[in-house]
Amino acid sequence: MSLTTGFAVYLVIWWLTLFMVLPFGITRVDPEELLPGEDPGAPAKPRLAFKFAVTTGVSSVLFGIFYLVFESGVISFRV
């Protein structure tokens, strides 16, 4: 696997993992605390830095598993 292919695969895994992690721990803003112009469906504390860190960790593990399977030849991705 080339460096470019590996980076592309990691990026796809990271992006998919991010969308799986984003909804965890979301609570809505209390309607009494809304300021004018704020969306009532917005999360109270999104904690994006924590979610990016979790996404990076999980993606690294998943990419490592993918890389080992790819390099070992257990599953052939070649036609």
Query: Residues 4-33: what's their mean pLDDT?
Result: 92
Question: Does pTM top 0.85 for this prediction?
Answer: no
Check whether 73 has a pLDDT greater than 90.
no
DSSP annotation of 36: T
Burial (CB count <10 Å: 0-12, 13-18, 19+), residue 21: middle
The pLDDT-based confidence of 40 (bands split at 50, 70, 90) is: confident
Name 24's Cβ contacts closer than 8 Å, sequence gap at least 6. Answer: 51
48-72 helix and 3-21 helix, angle to the nearest 10 degrees: 140
| DSSP at 29 | P
pLDDT at position 54: 96
Q: If we measure between CA atoms, which residue out of 67, 58, 46, 68 comes closest to residue 17?
A: 58
Is residue 79 predicted with pLDDT exceeding 70?
Answer: no
For tokens 């979301």, the residue is 26
